Amino acid sequence: MIDEKKLQESIDRSEITNVISKSILARDSGLWEQLAECYHSESVFTSSWYHGKPSDFFKVASEHLEASRKEGGEQKHLTGNHWIEISGDRALAECDLILFMRSQINGVELDVATWSRRLQLMAKENGDWKIFRRWVIYERDRMDPVDPTVPLDKYYDAEALAKYPRKLRYHLWRNEMIGLEPAKEICLRGTEEEKVARAEAKKWIEGN
């Protein structure tokens, strides 16, 4: 006998995972209309440099992605280990995420890698799963020159890096160098901001 509840949950998990994957691929590809389709009409999300409505994020992100590509820059988000909890028309979706970015800063090509977990509140809107709220919980990062023979003093600025949280200093410094200031709501693993995000997620899945 088919368990209808488990069958529906499997369908929902597949649809949620697909929406998250679509949002990642569309973001990296600069497909802004397709990315907008992934978000709820009342959605809010937080990244390392932005907090607010997705529509406003798309405008700024598109300009920076285009400018970066003209200089040979690129980025790619890779996700894995998806964990989804479903409660009616609400769900929690969490996954590991690694962001790889290549940028040219002060004439030096640099690769920055950032490890994080993405925590998302999902909701159905007009019958489709959408991202209602999104946090990125940052864990650690690193930076390397594409050309390993480039001297450290050509790109490494210890004084500039020191003002940022150790877990995310290279990522935030790179953002600053391309004109993106850190979001006040930035979330780092093990901080009060993460506790607040997870508490909100718990209330969400419990229907509060």
Give the tens place of pLDDT for each residue, 36-86.
999 999 999 899 999 999 989 988 888 888 888 887 778 999 999 999 999
Q: pLDDT by residue (tens digit) across 96-142?
A: 999 999 998 889 999 999 999 999 999 999 999 999 999 999 999 99
Token pair belonging to 116: 């994080």
Residue boundaries of the structural domains of the chain: 4-98+113-140+177-205
- 4-98+113-140+177-205: which CATH topology? Nuclear Transport Factor 2; Chain: A, (3.10.450)
Task: Report whether pLDDT(95) > 80.
Answer: yes
Task: Report the pLDDT value the prediction gives residue 2, as an integer from 0 to 100.
Answer: 77
In order, the DSSP letters of the chain are: ---HHHHHHHHHHHHHHHHHHHHHHHHHHT-HHHHHTTEEEEEEEE-SS-EE-HHHHHHHHHHHHHHHHHTT-EEEEEEEEEEEEEETTEEEEEEEEEEEEEEEETTEEEEEEEEEEEEEEEEEETTEEEEEEEEEEEEEEEEEESSTTS-GGGT--HHHHHTS-GGGHHHHHHHHHTT-PPPTT-EETTSHHHHHHHHHHHHHHTT-
> In 3D, which of 131, 140, 165, 163 has the Cα closest to residue 46?
131
Q: pLDDT by residue (tens digit) across 13-28?
A: 999 999 999 999 999 9
Q: pLDDT by residue (tens digit) across 197-206?
A: 999 999 999 9
Whole-structure pTM value: 0.92
Q: Is 46:187 a contact under the CB 8 Å cutoff?
A: yes
Torsion of CA 142, 27, 132, 56, to 10 degrees: 100
User: What phi and psi, each to the nearest 5 degrees, are found at residue 183?
Assistant: -70, 140
Task: Report the pLDDT value the prediction gives residue 106, as an integer from 0 to 100.
Answer: 87
